[in-house]
Amino acid sequence: MVILKTAREIALMREAGRISQRALQLAGKAVEPGVSTLELDTIIRSYIGKEGATPSFLGYCGFPASACISVNNVVIHGIPSAKQILKEGDIVSIDVGAKLNGYHGDNAWTFPCGRISREAQELLDATKESLFEGIKNALAGNRIGDIGHAVQKYVEARSYSVVRDFVGHGVGAKLHEDPSVPNYGTPGRGVRLLPGMVIAIEPMVNMGTHKVRVLDDDWTTVTADGKLSAHFEHTIAVTSNGPVILTRPE
């Protein structure tokens, strides 16, 4: 069931989004060779706690950390570790959620570690732009398929693929709510977008095949062919005046 939010609830979610966005940016600034993914998670957990919020992911379905930190061919749900040390040329996807006053904000970004290859930078650029193509189509009266089609069309025109096993979602008092928001679709199909809907649009884009596999820890999800993957995400509110990004950087 899709839960429409009031203006008051959207304002509360903007505050949660501000915290999750700031935590994401602080961790992103710390991405450099020699830093462990656990150090990034510690930065995130510390900032969210300082703001009086709680990390949305910590303990969620048993997840053991405050953020998902996924490096190179890890698509999503990478578990931070003191043993995973970042290297020059890595790409690092950080997915952060924060809960404040009963509501969540959820966002992700993929950061370069030092100097990265041209091919990796092009993947990051295309994935980020596909996110904004999706957001532009999050208009009241449109349908979920319009968002997914916009992302898919942009990505596939550049010879990349969109992950199909994992999708975006509604956000609110629960981290994951209806509706599902795939990064592929048919225009004019799916749930109709209404003012008050809050959704996370989050393209996960692979350099090679769209197929993925989950490792034995039941979390870490990697590309099936070992090629790079990037992930960008914003929480947005659908309004009568167009989409509003609740996790926009300050």
Which tens digit of pLDDT belongs to each residue from 111-169?
999 999 999 999 999 999 999 999 999 999 999 999 999 999 999 999 999 999 999 99
Q: Does residue 151 belong to any structural domain of this protein?
A: yes
Amino acid at 146: D
pLDDT of residue 190: 97
Read off the tokens for 138.
């999050």
Q: Does residue 214 belong to any structural domain of this protein?
A: yes
Query: Which residue shows structure tokens 């649009």?
Result: 201
The Cα 60–Cα 55 span in angstroms is 9
Q: Select from 12, 28, 53, 52 the least CA-distant residue to 171.
A: 12
CATH number of the domain to which 28 belongs = 3.90.230.10
Domain that holds residue 100: 7-245
pLDDT band at 249 (very low <50, low <70, confident <90, very high): confident
Q: Does residue 2 belong to any structural domain of this protein?
A: no
Question: Which residues of the chain form beta strands (DSSP E)?
Answer: 54-55, 67-71, 74-76, 91-100, 103-112, 161-162, 168-170, 177-181, 198-201, 204-206, 212-214, 221-223, 229-231, 234-239, 242-245
Q: Does residue 53 belong to any structural domain of this protein?
A: yes
Q: Does residue 228 belong to any structural domain of this protein?
A: yes
pTM of the predicted model, to two decimals? 0.97
Which tens digit of pLDDT belongs to each residue from 189-217?
999 999 999 999 999 999 999 999 999 99
Q: Does residue 1 belong to any structural domain of this protein?
A: no
Q: Does residue 13 belong to any structural domain of this protein?
A: yes
Bridge partners, 105 (sequence order): 98
Which tens digit of pLDDT belongs to each residue from 68-84?
999 999 999 999 999 99
Number of domains in the chain: 1
Q: Is the pLDDT at 250 greater than 80, yes or no?
A: no
**Which of the 8 DSSP states describes residue 199?**
E
**Burial (Cβ within 10 Å: 0-12, 13-18, ≥19) of residue 187:** middle
Q: Does residue 32 belong to any structural domain of this protein?
A: yes
